[in-house]
């Protein structure tokens, strides 16, 4: 049915106006989109990304390439407190600190090769909970020499796991490399902040630890007599754990072992939990206490499924609430 002439004219006029409005909005959208994709200034992400000091930019984004092309030095990285996922931070880890796994055909060089599991219960507890999972992925922070008290060596040798070993003590790290572990390794400490830092590190083998952020204006440590402390202190580079995972391209982790002599909670608070998938953790609580760790990990979606109390340290075992093993226990 044809519309009367007057109504038909109004119909055509209305269609014309609607078309003009649509074109105007489309033009504005295109201009804004081009502005957003071509702007290389400060990048604002979500509130959660801001909280964890993240860029919120994928590697395929043109802005990422522009940031990667900027001058990248350790001094700038630390002074500017670059984001955990900044390309400069990732590239610095890869080029300067990351050691690749030993080839699978290269035999281990262990002090006690007949000792299958040098951990004191951690490996067995985690594997039991994961149903003796094979070919998993671990990250062990406080890896010592890669063998003594290792929470991951059994997983690697017997269950074909891969992973990352982080050890700040330089003497221990040298021994770790000589073990020919089939895992990535880094001679760094974990940052207590969501950005890279340089710190003073107390060398004390299994109980070495980060002491403080490096401040060139701070006086040297002294003992009760006012004499310079004889403790061995090193200036050491620290990276957020998330930066290390990004550097190796692995944000899915089956087991995270964290034993850093008192800074466990601070390190856990740097992790952007919405960006990673970590199934289980063993966290030493001797210096922190159980309750602060449990209170923090609960809201992140984790619960305690076990404890390990031994003379070399006490651990809490955490599991992610939505891990596959929850269905097994139902």
CA distance 317 to 321: 13
Note the pLDDT of residue 60: 84
Note the pLDDT of residue 317: 97
Note the pLDDT of residue 28: 43
CA distance 242 to 244: 5
Condensed to tens digits (0 to 9), the pLDDT of residues 275-323 reads: 999 999 999 988 788 999 999 999 999 999 999 988 777 999 999 997 5
Note the pLDDT of residue 296: 97
Condensed to tens digits (0 to 9), the pLDDT of residues 65-74 reads: 889 888 999 9
Condensed to tens digits (0 to 9), the pLDDT of residues 6-63 reads: 444 544 555 554 554 444 544 444 344 333 333 233 344 466 778 899 997 887 888 8
Note the pLDDT of residue 24: 52
Angle at 182 between CA 176 and CA 184, to 5 degrees: 70
196 neighbors 239 (Cβ within 8 angstroms): yes
Domain boundary assignment for the chain = 5-91, 100-214+231-329
Q: From the CB of residue 315, how many other CB atoms can be counted at a distance below 10 Å?
A: 25
Q: From the CB of residue 222, how many other CB atoms can be counted at a distance below 10 Å?
A: 10
CA distance 68 to 73: 12
CA distance 226 to 224: 5
Note the pLDDT of residue 227: 39
**Is the alpha carbon torsion for 238, 236, 314, 121 positive or negative?**
positive
Give the domain 100-214+231-329 fold. Answer: Rossmann fold (3.40.50)
Q: Is the pLDDT of residue 118 over 80?
A: yes
Condensed to tens digits (0 to 9), the pLDDT of residues 263-279 reads: 899 999 999 999 999 99
Give 196-259 as a DSSP string: -EEEEEE--GGG-EEEEE--TTSPPPB-TTSPBP-S-EEEEEEE-HHHHHHHHT--EEEEEEE-
Note the pLDDT of residue 326: 47
CA distance 126 to 133: 9
Note the pLDDT of residue 41: 34
CA distance 250 to 244: 9
pTM here? Answer: 0.78
């Amino acid at each position: 049915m044809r519309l009367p002439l007057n109504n038909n004219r109004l119909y055509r006029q209305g269609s014309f106006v609607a078309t003009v409005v649509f074109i105007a909005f489309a033009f504005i959208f295109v201009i804004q989109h081009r502005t957003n994709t071509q702007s290389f200034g400060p990048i604002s992400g979500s509130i959660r990304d801001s909280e964890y000091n993240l860029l919120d930019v994928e590697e395929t984004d043109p802005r990422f390439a522009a940031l990667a092309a900027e001058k990248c030095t350790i001094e700038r990285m630390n002074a500017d407190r670059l984001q955990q996922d900044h390309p400069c931070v990732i590239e610095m880890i890869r080029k300067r600190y990351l050691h690749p796994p030993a080839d699978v055909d290269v035999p281990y060089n262990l002090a006690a090769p007949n000792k299958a599991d040098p951990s004191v219960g951690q490996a067995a507890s985690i594997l039991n909970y994961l149903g003796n999972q094979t070919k998993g992925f671990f990250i062990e922070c406080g890896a010592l020499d890669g063998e003594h008290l290792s929470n991951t060596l059994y997983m690697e040798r017997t269950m074909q796991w891969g992973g990352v070993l982080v050890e700040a003590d330089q003497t221990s790290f040298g021994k770790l490399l000589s073990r020919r572990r089939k895992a990535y390794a880094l001679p760094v400490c974990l940052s207590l902040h969501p950005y890279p830092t340089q710190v003073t590190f107390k060398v004390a083998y299994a109980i070495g630890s980060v002491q403080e952020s490096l401040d060139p204006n701070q006086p040297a440590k002294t003992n009760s007599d006012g004499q310079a402390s004889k403790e061995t202190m090193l200036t050491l580079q620290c990276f957020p754990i998330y930066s290390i995972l990004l550097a190796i391209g692995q944000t899915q982790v089956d087991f995270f072992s964290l034993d850093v002599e008192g800074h466990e909670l601070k390190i856990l608070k740097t992790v952007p939990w919405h960006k990673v998938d970590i199934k289980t953790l063993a966290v030493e609580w001797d210096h922190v206490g159980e309750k602060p760790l449990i209170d923090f990990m609960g809201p992140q979606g984790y619960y305690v499924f076990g404890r390990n109390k031994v003379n070399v340290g006490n651990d809490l075992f955490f599991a992610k609430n939505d891990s596959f093993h929850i269905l097994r226990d139902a």
